[in-house]
Chain A
């Protein structure tokens, strides 16, 4: 076969090769994002995502969306501007959460025997779906960053509340009041995670009394906008094909 000849001999064969190529790329992309995003999120979100007694109204709400909007923005940049596929955020978050569930179930529970009800991952999927739809409808990075980034931050806490609320029921324990989540953290001994490491309920957002979570969510949404821009540009830069000779990006 000469260099000018096609590798396929019919349209049907071309379609079949194209689909095979789709699945190969999808599998590679999915696993690469799973690994990279998982490491990134564990390093930046870390304990806030690991333990229920870290999932508070202030810092968890603030930190988790900000550090997790990164890969969705970057993968969106690649899949949308190159392929018009509005699944970058959802694909990234599904990959992350599958990786997290494997880790929590196999390692946290299967290896070190922490009950799953103390170490399940945060739910990031509602924000990711909305982020993808806004990009598809608006076809604008700016609109997605501003509206989608804000929505991503705002949806995080209510999207997790049905899972976390039962663990915020109070309990009296030996003369002290704590939540069931606090009690989990106290009961299930973590030798390397002493109580003072826990960064919860710290900060100066006292103006709104007990209604701290909405303020934190708005703040998280605003910062998520900036992080979205930044990582969207990272994604576009990585999706360039300048390194291929004679190919215009």
Chain B
């Protein structure tokens, strides 16, 4: 019995070693940002990103690219998420693989947090400078205080070259041009080395002599006072006074070397310029909406009224960054990420042009594997299972109108 136990133990140990060794040879890169894990209602009912454009798909180190587009701060913002009164335009990338060379909302630089208004559309742009080679999933992103990160659509971008060539030149208000990538690094190392040397000297002074056992015996037998000599006290004084002198002198020298310094800058930017979309002449009423679980499709019954003066057709339904298109009306020409684009995902029971003044009730189906892949179907398990999205209509001249929809979603399991 013991022999069998020993063999099992040995084999288990060998198996563990083999597993660990094998794991070393297979270490896939973790490149996701958890966008699929974010609650579906958060992605569908908070920030609607649209007209997104990634200017490049391949960028050499030190070169720049932009993510630009618009976002609608949804008027039906869920009650379970704090309003975007303090928000920050961010990008979802795996660390500083790019540096954020600039970010703008409505043409204003936004290095700080901003206050956004519900129901408004904003135009944005983020300028990125390539830093670390690799294939990176680059997302638009809005952080909302009390709401968390609201991640937008992402696209794969390749950075080529070598990170060692990356430079980040900045000219200060004192007229000095520096490379922020390595600026003041020697100074950091120098001062930390100086203080470590002093601290080690103090420690060495004490630990070079017998420590725990004899000193404990001395303390226990009432001879503690004999353990600290007059010489020790003098050395201690030298360390204490020396420390204060070095601190004072280094501070004075630093003030002389850097006479112009300012405090960190912080604050909230309000009154961001909104983007005025063309006035919509189409009104849409959602009569009902169901999500058919087996078919991975959402069906809506819409009553659409055209109050304009030219016929319109429904061409796109956009929710959580997933775009369902009717190719007979609109085709994407922006190289939108394939996994977020259902080029033939939108079917309308009667999508003939809706004449001015006409009202029509239609069945609209948005179907694609993206419902499952992007876990939007999980909406039915969310605390606020209403869906929302953007409908885009086009007239015969190619003029686009945007209408938001927001309604309860009933799941269908059969």
Q: Residues of A with Cβ closer than 8 Å to B? A: 15, 18-19, 21-22, 25-26, 53, 55-57, 81-87, 90-91, 93-94, 97, 101, 112-117, 120, 123, 125-126, 128-130, 132-134, 136-137, 139, 155, 158-159, 161-163, 165-184, 186-192, 194-198, 200-202, 210, 212
Contact = CB atoms under 8 A, between A and B. Distances in A.
A177 B95 contact: no
Interface stretch (B249-257, B362-370, B385-393): B249-257
Contact of A94 (B90, B102, B203, B213): B203
Interface residues of B, number: 93
Nearest to B87: A196
Contacts of B251: 158, 161-162
A86 B228 CA distance: 9
A180 B180 contact: yes
25 contacts: A18-B212, A25-B211, A83-B212, A84-B215, A84-B218, A84-B224, A86-B206, A87-B203, A91-B203, A101-B192, A125-B195, A129-B198, A129-B239, A130-B240, A133-B240, A137-B237, A137-B240, A163-B184, A176-B109, A179-B262, A187-B101, A187-B168, A194-B88, A196-B86, A196-B113
B214 A18 contact: yes
A6 to B, nearest CB: 13
Contacts of B246: 126
Contacts of A91: 203
Q: Is the interface of B mostly helix, strand, loop or mixed?
A: mixed
A90 B183 contact: no
Q: Which 7 A-B pairs have the closest CB atoms?
A: A194-B143, A168-B261, A194-B88, A133-B240, A84-B227, A196-B113, A125-B195
A49 B196 CA distance: 18
A238 to B, nearest CB: 16
B265 interface: yes
Nearest to B195: A125
Nearest to A160: B191
A163 B188 contact: yes
Contacts of B244: 126, 130, 155
B95 A114 contact: yes
A115 to B, nearest CB: 6
A192 B192 CA distance: 28
Interface stretch (B37-45, B170-178, B275-283): B170-178
Given A169-B174, A191-B90, A196-B143, A162 B191 contact: yes
Nearest to A116: B185
A201 B266 contact: yes
Contacts of A126: 195, 243-244, 246-247
Contacts of B203: 87, 90-91, 94
A139 B392 CA distance: 78
Contacts of A123: 191-192, 195
Nearest to A15: B210
B188 A83 contact: no
A76 to B, nearest CB: 13
Contacts of A198: 266
Given A123-B192, A165-B261, A117 B228 contact: no
A86 B100 contact: no
Interface in B83-139: 86-88, 90-102, 109, 111-113, 131-132
B296 to A, nearest CB: 30
Contact of B172 (A19, A180, A188, A202): A180
Contacts of A212: 263
Contacts of A159: 195, 247
A137 B191 contact: no
Contacts of A172: 173
B381 interface: no
A136 B232 CA distance: 9
Interface in B253-310: 253-255, 257-258, 260-266, 268
Contacts of B81: none
Contact of B213 (A18, A56, A128): A18
B102 A163 contact: no
B265 A177 contact: yes
Interface in B8-31: none
B202 A200 contact: no
A163 B189 CA distance: 9
B257 to A, nearest CB: 8
Contact of B188 (A19, A120, A182, A186): A120
B236 interface: yes
A187 B128 CA distance: 9
B141 interface: yes
